């Protein structure tokens, strides 16, 4: 069976974002869903990307800043932004994985 190529776009409606989150990330907390719907739906993405890529980018950044020690790590003298991201990367991935559907379509 041939895979359909995902179309890249530069804007997404709030309804599209909400549907994607409900289907692919059903355990995502309601307040996070509302933040992501607003952030993704109000932005023009340049360069264009898929809805999944936009959700991944916004969710990763949000989880990193809200649910990890990332911002405190940035205050550690000598620790770079890249090093701080590496330190929290596993926690970010685990959190988003917990929100994900177990049987994506």
Burial (CB count <10 Å: 0-12, 13-18, 19+), residue 16? middle
* Residue-level pLDDT at 7: 75
Query: Domain boundaries in the chain?
Result: 14-99
* pLDDT tens-digit series, residues 35-65: 999 999 999 999 999 999 999 999 999 999 9
Give which of 86, 96, 16, 84 is closest to 56, Cα–Cα.
96
Can the peptide bond before residue 2 be classed as cis, meaning omega within 30 degrees of 0?
Answer: no
CB 48 within 8 A of CB 10: yes
CB 28 within 8 A of CB 99: yes
pTM score: 0.86
Kind and range of the H or E run holding 65:
helix 51-67
């Amino acid at each position: 069976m041939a895979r359909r190529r995902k179309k890249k776009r530069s804007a997404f409606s709030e309804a599209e974002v909400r549907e994607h989150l409900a289907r692919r990330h059903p355990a995502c907390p309601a307040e996070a869903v509302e933040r992501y719907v607003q952030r993704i739906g109000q932005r023009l993405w340049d360069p264009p990307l898929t809805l999944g890529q936009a959700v991944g980018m916004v969710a990763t950044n949000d989880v990193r800043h809200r649910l990890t020690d990332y911002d405190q790590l940035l205050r550690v003298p000598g620790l770079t932004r890249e090093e701080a991201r590496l330190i929290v990367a596993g926690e970010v991935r685990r959190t988003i994985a917990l929100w994900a559907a177990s049987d994506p379509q």
